[in-house]
Structure 1
Amino acid sequence: MTRTPAITGDDGGSGASEARRSVELDGVEALRLLGSVSLGRIVFTRHALPTVRPVNHVLADGDIVVRTHGDATLTRYARQAGGEGAVVAYEADDIDRDTHLGWSVVVTGYARLVTDPRELARYQALLRPWGSQRMDHAVRISPDLVTGVLLTPDGPSPRA
């Protein structure tokens, strides 16, 4: 982990005005943390503009997998990209709303539709959709770039 300067500033009205330190995470730790939560945000291009969608995910064999339906913009985007996949970013975090301590991870990689029926059935069993809409597709994101930060309290300063 690499240390960066302490973060201070407005507490956003939360009462958390303590200094915090941002610590860069290595890729292995960042993916481990991402796998510890089930909610994230996928960023992709729609009409040449960035689009963000909240989705639930599972980390499977080092890849991020999300379920979607056949008419979803993300499904169409991944399908249009063909075998090489579509460039996406995926972000997940766990930051305490009061203290602003926690972590955030961003993965950039290629999203591809899952086409193998056995794999698709596996992901359908692992990921429960939020709504009642039929989610009969899955998209797998292969991480190429994994970054993350850990927000920790800045230790006490030595007194002179």
Structure 2
Amino acid sequence: MVELGRDEALKLLGTVQLGRAAFTDQALPAIRPVNHLVDAGGIIVRTHGGSALLGRALQSEVVAYEADEIDAATRTGWSVVITGTATRILDPGALARYRSLLMPWVDAEMGHVVRIQPEIVSGYRLVGVAGP
């Protein structure tokens, strides 16, 4: 494994559409698959009104976000984890912009937008290794 710098890790996050948001829900760890975009260094996700992630954003809580691209056959790829504060985006202009740029990948009302502002960014590039 080769450690990635912050800029390269965020750039790699921008090359994939799906990741996993991790947060605390009812005092237990929870992970949800979501699609995202990277904008101005922040991770942007759309969510529905009753989502646990939106609940964390309403309280400006710390969450984690992970995405990767790994080839099981070659054992190569990368993985990035960011940790930061989730906040709900309320600005009408920003909401309209993100709603036009980020289409929900599930068939549900996804009218809310959350920004995860990275405070800790860690990532690794997986380089090829010999087979078993």
Mark yes or no: TM-score above 0.5. yes
Give the match for residue 107 of structure 1: 82
Whole-angstrom CA distance in 1 between matches of 2:62 and 2:106:
26
Give the match for residue 64 of structure 1: 43
Q: Which runs of structure 1 show a deviation greater than 2 angstroms over 4 or more consecutive aligned residues?
A: none
Of structures 1 and 2, the one with the larger relative CO (CA 8 A, separation 6+) is 2
TM-score normalised by structure 1 residue count: 0.78
Match of 1:88 among 60, 63, 66: 63
TM-score normalised by structure 2 residue count: 0.94
Do structure 1's residue 39 and structure 2's residue 18 form an aligned pair? yes
Residue correspondences, number: 130
Whole-angstrom CA distance in 2 between matches of 1:60 and 1:36:
12
CA deviation digits over 1:62-108, x for unaligned, max 9? 100000011111112221x1xxx110000000000212210000000
Identical residues among aligned pairs (%):
53
Question: Which residues of structure 2 form unaligned runs of 5+?
Answer: none
Q: Where does 1:5-154 land on structure 2 (aligned, <5 Å)?
A: 22-79=1-58, 81=59, 85-153=60-128
Letter of the 2:103 counterpart: R
Aligned-residue RMSD, C-alpha: 1.2
Whole-angstrom CA distance in 2 between matches of 1:103 and 1:76:
30
Whole-angstrom CA distance in 2 between matches of 1:139 and 1:26:
25
